[in-house]
Structure 1
Amino acid sequence: MANFNWKPLLLACLIVSIGQLSLGLVFPALPAVADSLQLSSEQVQLLVSGYLFSFGTSQLVYGPLSDVHGRRPVLLAGLLIAVSGLAVAVLCADSFHWLLLGRVIQGVGAGSVAVLARATIRDSYQRQDLVKAMTWVAIVAAFTPIMAPVVGGIVNHHFGWLAVFAILLGYIAIVWLLLLVCFTETLSATQAPQSVGQLAKSYLSLLQEQHFLSFAGIGWVNFSLVVLSISMMPFIMQVQIGMSSERYALWAMGPAFGLLCGGLVCQRLRPRLGTQKMLMLSPLLHLVAGSVLIAAPLSPIWMVSGHFLMAMANGIAFPCAQSLLLVPYGNKAGTVSALSGACQMVFASLLSNGLLKLGISQAWHLGGIMVIGAGLGLLLAMLGTMSESGRRAVATLNG
C-alpha cells in the first residue's frame, strides 16, 4: 500500500459525508421541531422520509449523467441544488411546509454525493486498493449519521433546532468551495448518452441480475436498519428513558465507535479470512444486536450496546458488499451506483416510515426488525456469492 493514492479517497469521504450528515445531524432536533411547530412525531418524521425519498430517487439521474458528462460538473451542480434547498429551509423555518420543501430540495441535490463518491472510488482504484478505499468510504457513510447526533444534540440543546439547519448550510457551502478547487475529473472515458428508454432498459436489466440484487440488497437492508435505529433512538432515550438531548448526544457516540470498530475489523481480518467470510459475519452480529434489544431492560447501557453491535455489523457489511457489487461493471459504475443508492434510500425511507406508522416505537420492536434483517442479510450474502459473477468478484478482490 506504499503507492496508495489518498487524494481521491479523502475527497470521496468528504463528498459522502454530506448526504449522511444531513440525516444524523437533524435527528436529535426532531422532538424540538415538533414542539416548536406543534407537530406530531409522525408529521416531523417527514423531514427524514421526505429527504430520503428525494435523495434516493434523484440518484437515478445523477449516475447516468456522470457516466456521460463526467463526475466533476454533475457533483458541483448537485451540491448547488442542495445549498439552495437548505437556504429555503433556514429562511422559511417558521412554516413546516416550507421547511419540508427545503429538505426535499436539499435531498434532490444531495443525491449526487452518494452516487459520485462510490463512482470516483471505482474510477480510481483496483483490486485490494478498491476494497481498502471502499471500506473507508463505507465507514464515513455509515459513521457520519451515527456520530452526527452527538453534534446535533449539543447544537440543539445550546442554540436551538434552527441552528442545526444553519450549520448544514454552512458545511455544504464550504465543501462545495473545496471541491471546486481540489476535485479533478476521475472518469477516464465517458459513455455516449442514452435515451430515457435505453436507460430504463439498463436499469431493468440490472434489477434482473442476481449479482446486483444480492449485493445491492445487502446495502438496502443494512441501511434501513441504520435509518430505523437512529430514527427511534432519540425518542427511546429522550422520551421513554428521560434523557436530555445533550446527554443523549454523548451516549450516541457508542454506536459511532461500533461502526468504526467494524470497519477496522474488516480492514484487519478481510485479507486473512477473505471477503466472503467477512460478509457472512455481519448477519451474526445483527442477530446478537437484535437479541440484546429484545431481551434487555430499558436502560441506556443496554440500548447503546445493541446499537453498537448493529453498527459494528454494518461497518463490516457495507464495504464488502459495495466492493463486490461494483467489481464487474467498470465504466458503468455511475449507473450501477445510482440504481443501488436510489433503491437503498427509497427502500429505507418507505420501510422506516411504514414501520413507524404501524406503531413501531419500543426497543424490542427494533430488536425484532434487526433479527429479521439478519436473516435477510445472510440469505442475500449466500445468493450473491453462489452466483458465477459473485464467485469471480470474490476471487478478484481476494487476489
Structure 2
Amino acid sequence: MSAGWVVVLLSLLLGVQPLATDLYLPALPSIATAFQAPMAQVQATLSALLLAFGTAQLLWGPLSDRWGRRPVLLAGLAAYALAAVACALATNIEQLILGRIVQGAAMGAAVMGARAIVRDLYAPTEGARVMSKGLTGLGLFAVISGPLGGWLTEWLGWRATMAALAVFGAAGLALVAWRFEETLPQRNPHALRPREMLRIWARIAQHPTFWAWALLAATSYGGLFTFLATSSFVFINVLGHSKTSYGLLMLSMSVVYISGTFMCRRLIPRLGVRRTVAVAAALTLTGGTLCGVLALAGLHTTWAIMGPYYLFILAHGVHQPCGQSGAVAPFPQAAGAASALAGFIMMVTAFAMGTWLGHRMADGAAADVYPLTNGLWFWAAAIATVAWTLVQRHGEARPAPQATAR
C-alpha cells in the first residue's frame, strides 16, 4: 500500500470510534425520553459500548497476530454494520444496550488493527507521526459527527443516527476489502494458545515503557470521555442549546483537536516525543484547572466551559498519537497483543468514569455543570502527572524481544 492509502485506511479504522459515540450524543436526551429510561441506563448505552470495545480487543489482538490484520478487520467491520442496524430497530433500552455492546466489541477490531498496522510498518518515532495523521482523519470524522448527529436527531429522530452508522460500517467494509493489503510480517501460530497469550500479556505488562504511554493515552481519553458523556446534558438541558447548536459546539471541539494533531507533527521533529508530551501537558493542566475554577466561581456559561476545554482538547491531539503508538513501540512482533492491552486499559478507564457519571447524574447532578467541569479538572491533573513523571522516565522505546511468542 502507498503511504497515502495507509493514512486513509488508518483514518477510516480509527474513525469508527468517534462516529459510534459523537454521532449519537445529541440523541441521548431523546433516547431517555423515547424509552422513559433512567439516566443510568441511558449512560450505559455509551459506557457499555466502550467496555465491550476494550474487552474485545483482548481477543482481537491475538487473533490478528495469529491470522493477520485483514481477516480481523473484515469480520469486525461487518459486525459493526449489522449491530448498528439492530440498534436502529431496538424497541426498548435493553435491546439498545445489547446492540451497543455488540457494536463496541466489533469496533475493537478496527481500532486495535489500526494501532497494530502502525507498528507493523513504522519505527516508533515515525509511527507517532503517522498515527497523528490517522488521528487527524479521525478528527475529520468527529467534525462531521456532532452536527450530523444533531441534524439527524432534530429532523429524523435518534434512530437515524444508528442507520448512519450502519451505512458507514458497510462503506468501510467495502474499502478494506478493496484496498487493504496484509501488513503483518509473520504470523504467530501460537498466539491463540491461552498459556501463550497470558505469557505475552505478562511480558507486556511488565514493561515500564508500555505503562508510561498506555496510562497517558488512558488518562487523556478519560478526560475526553467525561466531556462526551456529560456535555449533551449540560449544553442542551442545563444551558439551553438546541441539538443542532450542540452539534456545532462538537464541531468546533473537533477542529481544535485536529489542530492538536498538526501541532504534534510539528513539535516531534524539534523537541522529540517526550518533550512534546510535556509541553502539551502544560496546556492540559491549564485548561482543566480553568474549567474547574470558573465553574466554582459561578460562571456556568457555554464559553466558560468551552474556552478552557479547547486547551484540553488541543493537547489531546498530541497525547493520543504519542500514547497509542508509544504503547506498542517496544513490541514489533506482538503489536496486536500490545495494542489490545493498551486499548483495554483505555476503555476500562472510560467505563469506570461512565458508571460513576451515570450514578452521579441520576442523583440530580444532571441539573448542573459540575460533573463535567470537575471531571475535566481531575483528568487534567492525572494527565500532567503521567506526562511529567512516567513518560519522562520510561518513555524511550526499547525493544522487548521476550514479549514475542516462541
Q: Could you state the TM-score of these two structures normalised by the residue count of structure 1?
A: 0.92
User: How much has 1:285 moved relative to structure 2?
Assistant: 1.5
Residue of structure 1 aligned with 2:215, choices 190, 214, 217: 217
8 Å CA contact 2:54–2:346 kept in 1: the answer is yes
Q: Which residue of 2 aligns with 1:120?
A: 117
Distance in 1 separating the partners of 2:259 and 2:149: 22
Q: Which residue of 2 aligns with 1:331?
A: 333
Q: Which residue of 1 aligns with 2:185?
A: 188
User: How much has 1:233 moved relative to structure 2?
Assistant: 0.9
Distance in 1 separating the partners of 2:54 and 2:300: 34
1:277-313 Cα offsets, whole Å, 9 max, x none, are 1111222222221222223312222222122121111
8 Å CA contact 2:291–2:373 kept in 1: the answer is yes
Q: Is the aligned partner of 1:175 residue 2:146?
A: no
Specify the code of the residue in structure 1 equivalent to 2:93: F
8 Å CA contact 1:262–1:315 kept in 2: the answer is yes
Q: Is the aligned partner of 1:375 residue 2:381?
A: yes
Moved more, 254-263 or 371-380: 371-380
1:345-383 Cα offsets, whole Å, 9 max, x none, are 122112222233134654344333333323322332322
- Could you say what the CA RMSD is over the residues aligned between the two structures, in angstroms? 2.1
Q: Which residue of 2 aligns with 1:99?
A: 96
Distance in 2 separating the partners of 1:293 and 1:391: 32
8 Å CA contact 1:262–1:312 kept in 2: the answer is yes
Distance in 1 separating the partners of 2:77 and 2:93: 23
User: How much has 1:337 moved relative to structure 2?
Assistant: 0.2
8 Å CA contact 2:125–2:273 kept in 1: the answer is no
Residue of structure 2 aligned with 1:312, choices 311, 314, 338: 314
Helix, strand or coil for the counterpart of 1:328?
Answer: coil
Once the two structures are superposed, the pairs formed by residues 241-320 of structure 1 within 5 Å of their partners are: 241-296=239-294, 297-320=299-322
Q: Which residue of 2 aligns with 1:64?
A: 62
Once the two structures are superposed, the pairs formed by residues 28-47 of structure 1 within 5 Å of their partners are: 28-47=26-45
Percentage identity across paired residues of the two chains = 27
Specify the code of the residue in structure 2 equivalent to 1:391: E
8 Å CA contact 1:75–1:116 kept in 2: the answer is yes
Residue of structure 1 aligned with 2:145, choices 122, 137, 148: 148
Moved more, 188-197 or 335-344: 188-197
Distance in 1 separating the partners of 2:162 and 2:185: 37
Specify the code of the residue in structure 1 equivalent to 2:317: G
1:217-267 Cα offsets, whole Å, 9 max, x none, are 111111111111011111111011111101111122221122112111111
Q: Which runs of 5+ in 2 are unaligned?
A: 400-406
Q: Which residue of 1 aligns with 2:396?
A: 391
User: How much has 1:73 moved relative to structure 2?
Assistant: 0.6
1:291-336 Cα offsets, whole Å, 9 max, x none, are 2222331222222212212111100111122232222211211110
Distance in 1 separating the partners of 2:369 and 2:95: 33
Moved more, 331-340 or 188-197: 188-197
8 Å CA contact 1:75–1:112 kept in 2: the answer is yes
1:199-225 Cα offsets, whole Å, 9 max, x none, are 123223322322111110111111111
Once the two structures are superposed, the pairs formed by residues 80-91 of structure 1 within 5 Å of their partners are: 80-91=78-89
8 Å CA contact 1:293–1:364 kept in 2: the answer is no
8 Å CA contact 1:224–1:352 kept in 2: the answer is no
Q: Is the aligned partner of 1:20 residue 2:24?
A: no
Helix, strand or coil for the counterpart of 2:336?
Answer: helix
Aligned residues: 389
